[in-house]
Structure 1
Amino acid sequence: MKRIASSALCTALFCVSSASLAATNLVIATVNNGHMIEMQKMGKFFEQANPDIKLKWVTLEEGVLRQRMTTDIATKGGQFDVMTIGMYETPIWAKKDWLMPLKPDATYDIDDLLPSIRDGLSLNGKLYAAPFYGESSMIMYRSDLVKKAGMSIEDRPSWAHIRAVAAKIHDPAKGVYGICLRGKPGWGDNMALITTMANSFGGQLFDMKWQPQFTSKPWKDAVTTYVDLLKNFGPPGSSSNSFNEILALYNEGKCGIWIDATIAASFVTDPKQSKVADKVAFAQSPIATTERGANWLWAWSLAIPKSSKQPEAAQKFINWATSKDYIKLVAREAGWASVPTGTRKSTYASPEFMKAAKFAAAEGTAIATSRPNQSTLPPSPYVGVQYAAIPEFQTIGVAAGQQMSAALLGKVTVDQALAVTQQAAEREMRKGGYYK
């Protein structure tokens, strides 16, 4: 409804304030993780400052959210005014002219955004999504268990060393599993981790001729290592576990080592959520033959689809939710250890944050060392660490994730899983016109 110019609309019988008549419903599609749930709680402050805007939330599990948003934006459905998307979708959707370029206001300080994150959310120098929180991946481990076993975990340990530590601390009789890793199939689930493993073994998704590389030795070595770790030292049901499931296990004290998103650190060190909050330590991700691409880079970000019915209100909300002031608001309401991280230089320059968040230095290093433009040892034609920023990758990644899950369950061998993945990838790339 259009805003009424006067402060009230009056008739002979009554007056109604323009604010109540002009209420704009802003529909926000987002993922069901901790920082987004916190954003919903903080939404009341935005509504108080903007009484003419009412926030309507659609909160979904990652895979369902991605499917709903992709369908809506491709068909110009207009269901959502703000979408929570990542570094994979942003440049692809911007190139298709599905997103509106963002226009942060003068107080936003766009130069405060971390360069690697900002670059990944831009196309031709224009920002198309604003980062709500950014992440890389790193090792989180139980320092008490590792020390008791007479072991240690330094930055960039070998995967062989990780296996040795996991074997030492694995004690299922006491409800402790040596290592927890994502097993749920999906390009943003098990494949996010497995692809970084393959990178570290010297592998890549595609060579310079866009030929898929899933049957290469680095991929076989990486997937063999992955399956071995979870079969021998992982919790039961690993093939169903993604971020939230493992977070619950870790916070109950059931995981000795967890290699996953740096954003998890703020939850596993929170004594309100974690029974082992004071026993967590951090290290940079494991490697095999190279550090390149060993830790991923991602940012859950807010964007405005071209089909948004309320683009001005959407821009106002995004400015607020991804600002320095929002970070200070969360710090005030929930504490500095709970703020969304991985987006702004000023967060890591804050003494209060660095003091409250014992994971801050490790997280900052992981994000800073992730290079989406140089993520593999051999040269690659794509941008991305745990994904390739091409439209075909989503289908390929889903198919690959299902095969890796089947290998973990013992339904197929590693060689069979990789061969089927290779065939599926070649089919998609031919269909996409990359080669005949």
Structure 2
Amino acid sequence: MKRTKSSIVGLTLALTMGLTACGGNQNSENAPSADKPFAGQKLTVFALSHPWTDGLKSSLGEFENATGIDVDLQVFPEEQLQQKLAVQFTSQAGTPDVFTYRPFMEKLLYDKNGWTEPLDSYVGKNAAYDFGDFSKASVDGSMVNGKLMSIPLWTDQFVMYYRKDILEKNNIPVPKTLAELEAAAKQLNDPANDFYGFVSRGQRNALVSAAASFVYSEGGDFIVDGKAAVNTPEAIRGFEIYANLLKNYGPKGSLNMGWPQAAALFAQGKAAFYVDASALFNNTTDPEKSLVAKDVAFAPFPAGTAGQKPYAIAAWALAMNPKSEKKDAAWAFMEWSSSKENVLRIQQSGVPGARDSVWASPEGIEKFPADLADAIKTTMSIGVDHSVPQVMSVTEARDVVGSIVVKAMLGEDIHKAAETANKELQAIIESDSKK
């Protein structure tokens, strides 16, 4: 029977998955065959230096043996990776064939420049790949104008960290609304004894992703129908709640805090509540990093007046170079690296993947605190797919939006700050549209 291209890809995947258990065929072949349709081809992959990449490296030989593909995996720190990709793509190079990038920060710019290949025609070729298993928010965050531009690799969710011992001692239930969070932070705030009700990011650029879930949960967003919307009543309410928590119940140095400083203060036992990305949890639960490791607990982000709307994003994703001359081989690599088996194996090392089935399995959550795993699963099912303004000039937009919270914390009129920021954000949107 003649094999279709999709069945060959499926067979390649099945062979790869079976190598560990069965030993596999370790003999290299230089010519393509039914079992090794891509033999003799070489792929170049640019990837971020990250535990996900480390996990992939450990089984890369299995993929190469199963497919006959030689994978040149080049690993770079974040800034260097971005520079390398820009140089390659600006010069219209055919390599890398596959690369990792941050869709929440870069997808619009890359799409505008034609640097990412749409993947819609690939993901349905092999039923065993089960693309529908990826969480909706992570997939939505990988789309541009209705087209799938990347495959989510590892994810991030906005959750609430809290001191369970402090809440129990003061008979305070875990907050389920933002009003309850503010009341609890007020009750527990004790600056005279260097203890604070709340801590989170306060630096202008860094705070935007933290304030985002407050804005969404009050019914707002950064941009609505293509227009800047940070001056709406809903958005202002979200910014104001966040600013008040930091101003009234946070440490004096909040304006200088990014996530490392905020997480460290919480880990030192100096705050009752901390809200941030779930991926940072080890900084607060590792006894070597945290003085209160045994007392840290997790819960889904509390609901605002518009409901419970924390972000749940694809932190990094895998994309294909449109100029690659080996797109089928490139997809074989992408399919394998994001398969259920690989996502489970890498998630078992503590890297949060994007597949619902892995989060539903006992093996998939064994490296995460049980309450954190529950909070992550809840957030993945309800989350908003972005944590920053969806524009090409993300860094500039974050500075503009972050100024609203900074000015409010400094005692300035938040409505005036929001009006100014909205005009500046709209100017960025309009400028981006002309690029």
TM-score by length of 2: 0.73
Tell me which of 39, 58, 64 is aligned to 1:50.
64
**Secondary structure of 2:280's aligned partner:** helix
Tell me which of 332, 338, 343 is aligned to 1:322.
338
Question: Aligned partners of 2:246 and 2:395: how far apart in 1?
Answer: 25
1:361 maps to a residue whose letter is: D
* Post-superposition offset of 1:368: 0.6
**Secondary structure of 1:28's aligned partner:** strand
Tell me which of 212, 228, 240 is aligned to 2:244.
228
Residue 136 of structure 1 pairs with residue 143 of structure 2: no
Match of 2:198 in 1: 179
* Post-superposition offset of 1:168: 3.0
Match of 1:295 in 2: 310
Alpha-carbon displacement from aligned partner over 1:228-270 (angstroms, at most 9, x marks no partner): 2223322353334333443344344344211122333466445
* Post-superposition offset of 1:24: 5.6
Match of 1:205 in 2: 222
Tell me which of 92, 99, 108 is aligned to 2:129.
108
2:77 maps to a residue whose letter is: T
* Post-superposition offset of 1:428: 2.9
Alpha-carbon displacement from aligned partner over 1:117-156 (angstroms, at most 9, x marks no partner): 224324577542111122331212111112222212243x
Query: CA 1:123–1:219 in structure 2 vs 1: closer, same or farther (change >3 Å)?
Result: closer
Match of 1:386 in 2: 387
Equivalence map 1:390-409=2 (5 Å): 390-391=391-392, 395-401=396-402, 403-404=403-404, 406-407=406-407
Match of 1:360 in 2: 373
Tell me which of 95, 100, 111 is aligned to 1:83.
100
Match of 1:217 in 2: 233
Richer in helix (by share): 2
Are the counterparts in 1 of residues 196 and 270 from structure 2 also a CA contact under 8 Å?
Answer: yes
Question: Aligned partners of 1:364 and 1:326: how far apart in 2?
Answer: 19
Question: Aligned partners of 2:248 and 2:199: how far apart in 1?
Answer: 11
Are the counterparts in 1 of residues 358 and 364 from structure 2 also a CA contact under 8 Å?
Answer: yes
Are the counterparts in 2 of residues 91 and 122 from structure 1 also a CA contact under 8 Å?
Answer: no
Query: Between the two proteins, what is the percent identity of the paired residues?
Result: 24
Question: Aligned partners of 1:225 and 1:154: how far apart in 2?
Answer: 15
1:297 maps to a residue whose letter is: A
Residue 279 of structure 1 pairs with residue 295 of structure 2: yes
Query: CA 1:161–1:348 in structure 2 vs 1: closer, same or farther (change >3 Å)?
Result: same
Residue 258 of structure 1 pairs with residue 274 of structure 2: yes
Are the counterparts in 1 of residues 229 and 422 from structure 2 also a CA contact under 8 Å?
Answer: yes
Query: CA 1:414–1:327 in structure 2 vs 1: closer, same or farther (change >3 Å)?
Result: same
After superposition, the CA RMSD in angstroms is 3.9
Match of 1:148 in 2: 169
Query: CA 1:413–1:310 in structure 2 vs 1: closer, same or farther (change >3 Å)?
Result: farther
**Secondary structure of 1:283's aligned partner:** strand
1:53 maps to a residue whose letter is: V
Match of 1:14 in 2: none
Alpha-carbon displacement from aligned partner over 1:202-234 (angstroms, at most 9, x marks no partner): 3333455x4433333333333333222223322
**Secondary structure of 1:134's aligned partner:** strand
Are the counterparts in 2 of residues 178 and 256 from structure 1 also a CA contact under 8 Å?
Answer: yes
Question: Aligned partners of 1:77 and 1:237: how far apart in 2?
Answer: 46
* Post-superposition offset of 1:421: 0.9
Tell me which of 172, 178, 184 is aligned to 1:165.
184
**Secondary structure of 1:237's aligned partner:** helix
Tell me which of 113, 117, 137 is aligned to 2:138.
117
Question: Aligned partners of 2:146 and 2:299: how far apart in 1?
Answer: 34
Query: CA 1:126–1:98 in structure 2 vs 1: closer, same or farther (change >3 Å)?
Result: same
1:203 maps to a residue whose letter is: G
Tell me which of 340, 343, 352 is aligned to 1:340.
352
Match of 1:380 in 2: none
Question: Aligned partners of 1:77 and 1:388: how far apart in 2?
Answer: 30
Match of 1:10 in 2: none
Residue 237 of structure 1 pairs with residue 253 of structure 2: yes
* Post-superposition offset of 1:366: 1.2
Question: Aligned partners of 1:234 and 1:65: how far apart in 2?
Answer: 36
Question: Aligned partners of 2:201 and 2:84: how far apart in 1?
Answer: 23
* Post-superposition offset of 1:285: 1.8
2:426 maps to a residue whose letter is: E
Question: Aligned partners of 2:336 and 2:287: how far apart in 1?
Answer: 29
Match of 1:350 in 2: 361
Are the counterparts in 1 of residues 359 and 377 from structure 2 also a CA contact under 8 Å?
Answer: yes
Query: CA 1:315–1:243 in structure 2 vs 1: closer, same or farther (change >3 Å)?
Result: farther
Question: Aligned partners of 1:117 and 1:215: how far apart in 2?
Answer: 27
Of 357-366 and 308-317, deviating more is 308-317
Residue 193 of structure 1 pairs with residue 210 of structure 2: yes
Gaps of 5+ in 1: 7-21, 373-384
Question: Aligned partners of 2:90 and 2:204: how far apart in 1?
Answer: 24
Question: Aligned partners of 2:76 and 2:171: how far apart in 1?
Answer: 48
Are the counterparts in 2 of residues 91 and 120 from structure 1 also a CA contact under 8 Å?
Answer: no
2:352 maps to a residue whose letter is: P
* Post-superposition offset of 1:411: 8.8
Of 260-269 and 176-185, deviating more is 260-269
**Secondary structure of 1:417's aligned partner:** helix
Alpha-carbon displacement from aligned partner over 1:346-367 (angstroms, at most 9, x marks no partner): 1122123356531222211111
* Post-superposition offset of 1:191: 1.4
Are the counterparts in 1 of residues 198 and 273 from structure 2 also a CA contact under 8 Å?
Answer: yes
**Secondary structure of 2:174's aligned partner:** coil
Query: CA 1:79–1:232 in structure 2 vs 1: closer, same or farther (change >3 Å)?
Result: farther
Question: Aligned partners of 1:38 and 1:122: how far apart in 2?
Answer: 22
1:407 maps to a residue whose letter is: K
1:414 maps to a residue whose letter is: I
1:55 maps to a residue whose letter is: L
2:221 maps to a residue whose letter is: Q
Match of 1:60 in 2: 78
